[in-house]
Amino acid sequence: MEIIAEEDVKQEEEKFELGKASRTLSRYFNYTSDDLYNQFVSGNKASLRNLFKSRLSREQKIKLSRDFVWGVGLLYRIIMLKVAYIVDGLRVYHEDPNIEKQYKEINERLDIKQYAENAAFEHEVVGEWYPYLSWRGDELAKLTILNPTEVKVKSVFGKDLIYLKPNPEIVNLINDPDEEVRKRVRKVIPTKYYQKWSKGKEVLFDEDEIFRCTNQKAYHENYARTPIEPVFDDLALLSMYKESDYSVAYKIKKAILQVKVGDKDLFEGEPVDDDILEQAEKLFQNPSESAEIFTQWFMDAKWIIPDGDVYSPEKYKPVIDRIIAWSGLDAFLGEDNNQGSAEIKSNMLYEDIKKARQEIRDSIHKIYKKIAEKKGIKTYGDNLKLPKVKFSNLNLMSNADTLETITFLYKHGLLSPETALDTYDFDFDEEINIKSEEGKKEKYLEYVTVPFEPSQDVNMKSFLRKEMEMEENQQTEDTEEIDEEIPEEGGENDG
């Protein structure tokens, strides 16, 4: 009896059991060691991150970085803003005015400013760049940056051996059947590379012709990684979101017209015959004839409009926030207004910019050094005469900090009036010329007006004209008074 009672209790407990966990899907959410290995190490797990991590070659990553820059508006603006910050205020200075003038002429001929902008772009997008110096004797004829996907580097104990393989287009030009084309190509391509390139073979460049500059590169790796790689998956996700919006927009543009024929309350809900559907279809086959349609009462036509809620911008916000945080501009564009965190973030951006500037400055110094060695620009102590390359930090400061700094330096004689005026885009010579009150009136005569109707002729010109008339009248009156006070010649003492 006791055994039976215990079984009844067990059955009663099972009867009132709330439920049990399903094991159908649990195996998909319980990671095994193999799953984790495939996800984080081998990169075999199907995901955007693993796709970019393990499936792409260096050339494909560089191409993808450039495609993202020119295809995602947000990234384009971020890159161009950082490039502008990096090269802002680039100038060359030397204590000797003659040497400074000499290098300024070299800069204008080689367009060093454009080189710096291109180098900054490669620094932020590719992560490395290769300046190529084309010499004509001791003259640097041309300065350019090579395509990194065509450059091969072999490092031996930290020493770079840089090779360049010609692309198919160059090979075709070298072997062009037109003699004039071959003649002009031969003038551009150095003779020592011509033969190998004509056969499509790579050549080893001389050290005075090419060198490498990097953003960040591990010692054991041959190439630097693109700085955009950490946000490849976010940029891809942002592009996919945009594509989804385009898809919905296309469907709205190609809206679906649904025509219902029949009625569920008619003929006991029986569907209409196929020939009736075909007759209804014919009514809509020619749009020019279907503007007005006469049908039986049970035909109903309406447009099927996709759900517009998918356009919600909320889906973009997390992705955009991550991209902005990666860029280092979240101190200015982010929503966190905490002063302490904003200062830390701005310092991080400033350090990135300083690092890029130092790399560009070093590359320009290398170019100047090679020029000085070739042309023999040396001092009496046989030292090379090299200028200093400087950048401006004013755009990295607030307006209040800039004004305070300029005022302090000028006040204590550490800053010239010319530089102080140039900081705010004023021309020193022009300001000296219009320093007097009359000069200022003459300078701004066309722009300064008083708040009256133009018909009343009361602008600054009219005021000056009337003022001049009053002065002339006053001078005339003064002259007449003086004439009246002077006695006529002769008098009682005459004769």
**Could you write out the DSSP letters of every residue in 427-487?**
-HHHHHHT-SHHHHHHHTTTT---SS-GGG--SHHHHHHHHHHHHHHHHHHHHHHHHHHSP
- Report pLDDT for 458: 46
Residues 275 and 188 both lie in one domain:
no
Residues 140 and 260 in one domain: no
Same domain for 268 and 199, yes or no, is no
Residue 69 and residue 20 in one domain: no
Name the residue type at position 118. N
Instruction: Indicate if 195 and 57 belong to the same structural domain.
Output: yes
* Shared-domain flag, residues 28 and 90: no
Q: Encoding tokens for residue 145?
A: 């940056």
Domain-embedded: residue 178 = yes
Q: Please indicate, yes or no, whether residues 131 and 68 belong to a single structural domain of this protein.
A: yes
| 338 located within any domain | no
365 domain residue, yes or no: no
pLDDT (0 to 100) of residue 113? 92
Considering the domain architecture, whether residues 69 and 122 belong to the same structural domain is answered as: yes
Q: How many domains does the chain fold into?
A: 4
CB 126 within 8 A of CB 65: yes
249 within a domain of the structure (yes/no): no
Q: Are 175 and 291 in a shared domain?
A: no
Per-residue model confidence (pLDDT) at position 454: 44
330 sits in which H/E element? helix 330-333
* DSSP state at residue 491: -
Residue 488, in any domain of the structure: no
Same domain membership, residue 275 and residue 168: no
What residue ranges of the chain have pLDDT lower than 70?
Answer: 1-31, 43, 46, 251-258, 264, 266-269, 286-308, 310, 331-345, 380-381, 397-399, 428-467, 477-495
Domain with 119 in it: 52-233
Does 74 reside within a domain?
yes
14 part of a folded domain: yes
Residue 422 inside a domain? The answer is no
Residue 9 is predicted with a pLDDT of 55
Same domain, 24 and 82: no
One domain, residues 20 and 152: no
